[in-house]
Structure 1
Amino acid sequence: MARIAVIGAGMGAMAAAARLAVAGHRVAVYERAATHGGSVGRLERDGFAFDTGPGLLHLPAVYRDLFVKTGKESLEQSLTLTQVDPASRHLFADGTDVRLPNASRAGVVAALDAAAGPGAGERWSDLVNRAREVWDATRRPLLEEPLRADRTAALGHDPYPAPPRRGLFRRRRGPLTLASVAERELADPRLVALLEGHALAHGLDPRVAPASATVLPYMEQTFGSWYVRGGVRALADALYERCLARRVEFFFGAEVVGLVEEDGRAAGVRLAGDGVAEADMVVAGVAPGRLEAFAPGVAGPSRGPVPPGRFSVFLAVAGSRPEDAAHRTVVHGDDRTAELEAVFGAAGVGGYRPTVTVLRPDDADTRPDDAHEAVTLTATIAPHGRTDWNDARTVADFADRMVAAAEAAVPGLRERVLWREVRTPADTEAATGAEGGGVPAPVLAGGEGAFLRPANVTRLPGLYLVGGFAHPGGGLAHAGMSGAMVAGLIVEGADWRGSQ
């Protein structure tokens, strides 16, 4: 039985801790904050409750496997999980309104044909079919196997099977990007916005993201969108309880400031206040900047700039939720270039109208009574530092623009708001330690490896990386996958090739 110190109590770290404890190891988690969950937080006020992190779960099979492997109670026995239908409603700049059913390829085709004209659904379906080839080619090496040096070069190639150009000028100019795929294969600006909106929601610039990013809508459309009753925070709570049941120890308010090294390998952690926790191995679930501060160079070279962050507005709303209200509505922006430059370029916050995701859960646990509803608005924005998200006027102005945009989904919203609270990338940075409040995207093949994250095995023997800033990247499901990979590497050894 090995002693294992886990740095951080985020979802990936807790997923690794639960699996390692079941394997017989003695696991202790050191978290600098006062609670577990990392970015999967919760805001409660006046009987209203909001997720401050992800609002939906995709690929629930990751957590089903985790709960099966770590205890008697299944995921569904530990919480209430339901499919969201429609999966999403989309409101485009020209006024087009379409509801896409959950996990129904034929239903999506029919809905797009009805909203965008005959043939629109088939064009979208053809693209998703090609994205399936991306999924088949990358599912195992990207999501089920540790990232190894001998595979990195291969994963730098984009597996998207683009159809050949027709006509005299068939030569492709430059790398194939998600934006070029959208322009060539979808043409209709609404379908383009639908595809690029998936990238934007994950903090990816469609102008530079590889065509393999088409796998993101494929996964959502194929495996569905799921809601956890009480909010996704309930998933973090259930995972925490599972860790406790497996006798994982948690130390909150315990900030790790250094590593203990003996004989060239990790042998524990140093805590603020000069405390030391000895261990045989260390698992770090922290952002790159924090890791670099106490373990310089162990993760290898950086893989790009700080990713975009999330701006969230939590609204306590008077009036009952209509029965036909969609759980999730995406109100697409009206100036693609201005928004992408503001989020990814040098334009700063600008004066554009952002793409806003409106979440209106039909969940009595999130509101004081049926005469009110809890509404969450989110937008992908530039990280803190490139925009000063501590500036009160900037924050208030952007929140106002988001509420104004959301009125397309919730008529009369401004008049119904009782109060609002806001979370910016500056708040995320303070709460999680992630530089600029950046939210990591899932890993992607292509782009010569620029869209990969550091491997779970580091240059320092005995130190492993877990969570969204490590392989296989950000998102609830990917965090769970990273926990499984780290546990496999520790339990089975360096020769472990991945889940079966």
Structure 2
Amino acid sequence: MARIAVIGAGMGALAAAARLAVAGHRVAVYERTDTYGGALRRFERDGFSFDTGPGLLPLPAVYRDLFVKTGKEPLERCVELVQVDPSSRHVFADGTRVSLPNASRAGVVAALDEALGPGAGQRWGDFLVRAREAWDRTRRPLLEEPLWPNWQVLAEREPYPSVPHKRLLRTRRAGTLAEVGAWELRDPRLTALLEGYALAQGLDPRVTPASTAVLPYMEHAFGIWYVRGGMRELARAVYERCVARRVEFRFGAEVTGVLEKDGRASGVELADGTVAEADSVVAGVAPGVLDRLAAGHAVRGDGEVPAQRATASRLTVLLALRGARPEGTAHRTVVHTQDREAELAALFGTAAGNAHPTVTVLRPDDPHLAPADHESVTLTAAVPARPDESYGALAEDMISAAERAVPGLRDRLLWHEVRTPAHIAEATGAAGGAVPVPALAAAGGRLLHPSNSTRVPGLFTVGGWAHPGGGLPHAGMSGALVAGLIVEGPDFRGSR
């Protein structure tokens, strides 16, 4: 039985802790805040309840596997999973609206043809076929296996099989998501649909590789899910599974250093001066925090994937509305920007704020979230990772955009609460409140994340800032990969 010290109680760290405890190790988690879940937080006021982190769950199989591998109770006995249908409703700049069914390629094709005109659905369907090929080529190395030592192969090869396109007397292939939209989808509304998946991650579609096509493919192929009571319930269930497996938790325990002995990680030092010895240390922290904790030790070496410095964050506006949720309301509506260029310039350029952003409106059909005959609504938009910026005007812009999806919104509004990048920074420790993106192939490795192993024997990294990157499924897989590396050693080749 080895002693494992886990720094942080984010979802990746919790997943690793549960798996390591089941393998017979003695696991202690040290969390500087007073609760678990990382970005999966909850805000409550006047009987209203809101998720302030991710509001939906793609690829629930990751957490089903976690619960199967760590106990007799499956995930569905611990939380109520609800498949969201339609998966999303879209309001485009020209006023066109379309609802897309969950996990049904044929249904999506038919819906797009009806809303956007004949041929639109077929073009999107053909795109999903190509996206599936990119998924099949990258699924294991980017989600289910430790990062390859020859990771440069993933950085150099574009797995998306783009269609040849004649341009200026030359035949070219799309290398970016924006080019896929312009050359293969050939409809500004389909392009907005595609680019929305990048924008939701804080990625610029003009430079994001075509391999980002795997993000819409994952959703269309495996569906999108909600946890009854709010996504915070998923964090609760994973935490309780850890407790049931005798993982020890210490909240309000800030780790100030990773100890080393004989060239190997040997424990952690806490802010109160106490030392916790360990045979291995698992760090679920942002890159800058890890560098500080391992001061004097070279965590990453030349030729390895460098720590990613994400520049985008998330602004969340929580709306308490009087009146019940109308029958037939979509759980998720994406209100696309009416000025794409202004949005991109504000988010990825030098302009302050974020002009007319694409806004995701979440309206769960969940009586646990609001008093009777009232409704909790959550708005999110990508913003630059600048926690000291004032976001009042942008929050008002988001509410105005949401009125296109929620008729009479301002007349129903009791109050609203704004959660800024500063709140994310406080919860996760990430500089600027930056939100990590999922690992993606191509782009010279710019969107890969560092290996879960480090140059310091016995020190491992887990969570959104380590391989395979940000997002709930990826966090869960990072926990599985770290547990595999510790239990089976460096010959571990990934999830089966």
SS in 2 for 1:337: helix
Instruction: Report whether the alignment pairs 1:442 with 2:438.
Output: yes
- Structure-1 residue corresponding to 2:115: 115
- Structure-2 residue corresponding to 1:267: 266
Instruction: Give the Å deviation of 1:36.
Output: 0.3
Structure 2 gaps of 5+ residues are none
Where do residues 288-299 of structure 1 align in structure 2 (5 Å cutoff)?
288-296=287-295, 297-299=298-300
Which one-letter code corresponds to 1:368 in the other structure?
P
Whole-angstrom CA distance in 2 between matches of 1:362 and 1:73: 26
The counterpart of 2:347, out of the listed 340, 343, 357, is: 343
Instruction: Report whether the alignment pairs 1:381 with 2:380.
Output: no
Instruction: Report whether the alignment pairs 1:198 with 2:197.
Output: yes
Do 2:353 and 2:391's aligned partners in 1 also have CA atoms closer than 8 Å? no
Number of residue equivalences = 491
Do 1:153 and 1:448's aligned partners in 2 also have CA atoms closer than 8 Å? no
Instruction: Report whether the alignment pairs 1:91 with 2:91.
Output: yes
Runs (4+) of structure 1 exceeding 4 A deviation are none
Do 1:9 and 1:31's aligned partners in 2 also have CA atoms closer than 8 Å? yes
The counterpart of 1:359, out of the listed 359, 362, 386, is: 362
Do 1:306 and 1:435's aligned partners in 2 also have CA atoms closer than 8 Å? no
The counterpart of 2:321, out of the listed 317, 321, 338, is: 317
Quick one: structure 1 residues 167 and 318, their matched pair in 2 at CA, closer, same or farther if it must change by over 3 Å? closer
Whole-angstrom CA distance in 2 between matches of 1:149 and 1:34: 37
Instruction: Report whether the alignment pairs 1:46 with 2:42.
Output: no
Deviation per residue, 1:54-103 (Å, 9 max, x gap): 00000000000000000110000111001000000000010000000000
Instruction: Report whether the alignment pairs 1:412 with 2:408.
Output: yes
Do 2:152 and 2:445's aligned partners in 1 also have CA atoms closer than 8 Å? yes
Do 1:303 and 1:451's aligned partners in 2 also have CA atoms closer than 8 Å? no
Do 1:153 and 1:449's aligned partners in 2 also have CA atoms closer than 8 Å? no
Where do residues 233-244 of structure 1 align in structure 2 (5 Å cutoff)?
233-244=232-243
**Which has the higher mean CA deviation after the structures are superposed, 300-309 or 203-212?**
300-309
Which one-letter code corresponds to 2:391 in the other structure?
V
- Structure-1 residue corresponding to 2:419: 423
Deviation per residue, 1:2-52 (Å, 9 max, x gap): 000000000000000000000000000000000000000001111111001
**Which has the higher mean CA deviation after the structures are superposed, 474-483 or 292-301?**
292-301
Instruction: Give the Å deviation of 1:128.
Output: 0.8
SS in 2 for 1:4: strand
Instruction: Report whether the alignment pairs 1:401 with 2:397.
Output: yes
- Structure-2 residue corresponding to 1:101: 101
Do 1:50 and 1:314's aligned partners in 2 also have CA atoms closer than 8 Å? yes
SS in 2 for 1:149: coil
Deviation per residue, 1:171-203 (Å, 9 max, x gap): 338x71111111100110000000000111111
Which one-letter code corresponds to 1:199 in the other structure?
A
Q: State the percentage of identical aligned residues.
A: 66
SS in 1 for 2:391: helix
Whole-angstrom CA distance in 1 between matches of 2:21 and 2:167: 60
Instruction: Report whether the alignment pairs 1:432 with 2:435.
Output: no
- Structure-2 residue corresponding to 1:11: 11
Do 2:42 and 2:52's aligned partners in 1 also have CA atoms closer than 8 Å? yes
Instruction: Give the Å deviation of 1:153.
Output: 2.9
Which one-letter code corresponds to 1:223 in the other structure?
F
Whole-angstrom CA distance in 2 between matches of 1:272 and 1:303: 25
The counterpart of 1:307, out of the listed 297, 311, 331, is: 311
Which one-letter code corresponds to 1:362 in the other structure?
D
Note the aligned Cα RMSD (angstroms): 1.3
- Structure-2 residue corresponding to 1:329: 333
Whole-angstrom CA distance in 2 between matches of 1:363 and 1:309: 27
Whole-angstrom CA distance in 1 between matches of 2:454 and 2:232: 30
Quick one: structure 1 residues 303 and 294, their matched pair in 2 at CA, closer, same or farther if it must change by over 3 Å? closer
Deviation per residue, 1:394-425 (Å, 9 max, x gap): 32211111101000010111121111111000
SS in 1 for 2:257: strand
**Which has the higher mean CA deviation after the structures are superposed, 338-347 or 402-411?**
338-347
- Structure-2 residue corresponding to 1:64: 64
- Structure-2 residue corresponding to 1:252: 251
Do 1:285 and 1:467's aligned partners in 2 also have CA atoms closer than 8 Å? yes
Instruction: Report whether the alignment pairs 1:368 with 2:367.
Output: no
Whole-angstrom CA distance in 2 between matches of 1:426 and 1:338: 24
Instruction: Give the Å deviation of 1:165.
Output: 2.2
SS in 1 for 2:178: helix
**Which has the higher mean CA deviation after the structures are superposed, 178-187 or 148-157?**
148-157
Whole-angstrom CA distance in 2 between matches of 1:433 and 1:319: 37
Whole-angstrom CA distance in 2 between matches of 1:99 and 1:156: 37
Quick one: structure 1 residues 248 and 97, their matched pair in 2 at CA, closer, same or farther if it must change by over 3 Å? same
Do 2:287 and 2:307's aligned partners in 1 also have CA atoms closer than 8 Å? no
Deviation per residue, 1:119-174 (Å, 9 max, x gap): 0000011111000000100011111100022233344311111112247723338x
Do 2:89 and 2:97's aligned partners in 1 also have CA atoms closer than 8 Å? yes
Instruction: Give the Å deviation of 1:433.
Output: 0.7
Instruction: Give the Å deviation of 1:426.
Output: 1.3
Deviation per residue, 1:455-478 (Å, 9 max, x gap): 000011100000000000000000
Instruction: Give the Å deviation of 1:210.
Output: 0.5
- Structure-1 residue corresponding to 2:281: 282
TM-score (norm 2): 0.97
Whole-angstrom CA distance in 2 between matches of 1:449 and 1:137: 16
Whole-angstrom CA distance in 1 between matches of 2:74 and 2:308: 38
Do 1:299 and 1:455's aligned partners in 2 also have CA atoms closer than 8 Å? no
